[in-house]
């Protein structure tokens, strides 16, 4: 079962902090939903720094990042 982090509508650093907490819990894959390019890039960078693989898809103005080990 994958973990969902819905960070839409939140401004940085909240999406990064929520995604980081999910990574620390160790339940993969993790889906992170964000609605700004800044949040997308900040979450991506943090996840890659923590050695996660990141897949990004865009749906309109929203982004779905799937983090896996």
Q: What is the pTM of this model?
A: 0.94
CATH, residue 53: 3.30.110.40
Q: How far is it between the farthest Cα atoms of the chain? A: 30
Average pLDDT over residues 36-48: 98
Statement: residue 51 has pLDDT above 70: yes
Tokens of 2: 């994958």
Q: Is 35 exposed, middle or buried (0-12, 13-18, 19+ CB in 10 A)?
A: middle
Containing structural domain, residue 62: 3-68
Average pLDDT over residues 53-66: 97
- Structural domain tally of the chain? 1
Q: Percentage of the chain with pLDDT > 70?
A: 99
Q: Is 40 left (phi over 0), alpha (psi -120 to 50) or beta?
A: alpha
Statement: residue 2 has pLDDT above 90: no
């Amino acid at each position: 079962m994958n973990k969902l982090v819905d960070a839409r509508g939140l401004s940085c650093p909240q999406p990064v902090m929520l995604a980081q907490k999910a990574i620390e819990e160790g339940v993969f894959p993790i889906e992170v939903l964000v609605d700004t390019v800044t949040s997308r890039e900040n979450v991506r960078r943090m996840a890659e720094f923590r050695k996660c693989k990141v897949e990004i898809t865009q749906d309109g103005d929203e982004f779905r990042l799937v983090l896996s080990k």
